């Protein structure tokens, strides 16, 4: 089957135009290119998480090699910088760490030694706050609270 050179050239130009338009038109709201392991480190495994409304998720991770917990809050959609936080508290040792700022993608990492202890953790994005208390400690029942301010 023979094709006319001008038909093939026209088809190639149309294909390049469509590909170029598709490549330049990004999604309306691109998700951040990060994970809890990229923020905290590859040795940290996610052990708990809590949604922050529809804005993102706060993650609790744990590194069994060093006994540390790490918390990060990751926005679902990047964009204009907004207030974002992540915090971690080991209540029976009074240890506390947090990261609070105006970010486009995530807050954290915040780390503390948590091996053998219950932890309280959470974070916020914009005006939605999540606090998770008494987690990862066997017999105590965790308590989650989400508030919008």
Residue 115 lies in a domain: yes
Domain residue limits at 130: 36-148
| 16-73 residue pLDDT tens | 343 443 344 333 344 568 999 999 999 999 999 999 999 999 999 999 999 999 999 9
Question: Residue 124: is the preceding peptide bond cis (ω within 30°)?
Answer: no
Residue 54 lies in a domain: yes
Which of 26-40, 75-89, 128-142 is the least confident region?
26-40
Residue 107 lies in a domain: yes
Let me know if 77 is exposed, middle or buried by CB neighbors in 10 A (0-12, 13-18, 19+). Answer: middle
User: What whole-number distance in Å separates Cα of residue 117 and Cα of residue 35?
Assistant: 25
Closest of 69, 58, 51 to residue 119, by C-alpha: 69
User: What whole-number distance in Å separates Cα of residue 132 and Cα of residue 129?
Assistant: 10
Residue 27: what pLDDT? 38
Residue 11 lies in a domain: no
| Contacts with 122 (C-beta within 8 Å, 6 or more apart), sequence order | 50, 58, 71, 86, 87, 129, 130, 131, 132
**pTM above 0.85?**
no
Number of domains in the chain: 1
pLDDT above 80 for 106: yes
Banded model confidence at residue 125, pLDDT cuts 50, 70, 90: very high
pLDDT above 50 for 82: yes
User: What whole-number distance in Å separates Cα of residue 140 and Cα of residue 26?
Assistant: 46
Q: Write the CATH number for 123.
A: 2.60.40
Residue 44 lies in a domain: yes
Residue 106 lies in a domain: yes
Residue 27 lies in a domain: no
Banded model confidence at residue 138, pLDDT cuts 50, 70, 90: low
């Amino acid at each position: 089957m023979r094709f006319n050179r001008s038909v093939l050239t026209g088809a190639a130009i149309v294909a390049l135009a469509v590909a170029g338009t598709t490549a330049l038109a990004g999604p309306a709201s691109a998700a951040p290119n990060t994970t809890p392991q990229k923020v905290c480190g590859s040795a940290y495994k996610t052990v708990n998480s809590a949604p922050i409304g529809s804005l993102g998720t706060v993650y609790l991770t744990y590194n069994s090699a060093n006994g540390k917990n790490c918390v990060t809050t990751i926005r679902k959609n990047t964009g204009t910088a907004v207030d974002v936080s992540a915090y971690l508290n080991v209540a029976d040792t009074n240890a506390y760490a947090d990261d609070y700022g105006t970010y486009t993608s995530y807050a954290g990492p915040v780390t503390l030694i948590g091996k053998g202890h219950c932890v309280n953790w959470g974070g916020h994005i914009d005006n939605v706050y999540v606090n998770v208390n008494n987690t990862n400690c066997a017999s105590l029942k965790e308590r989650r609270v989400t508030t919008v301010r």
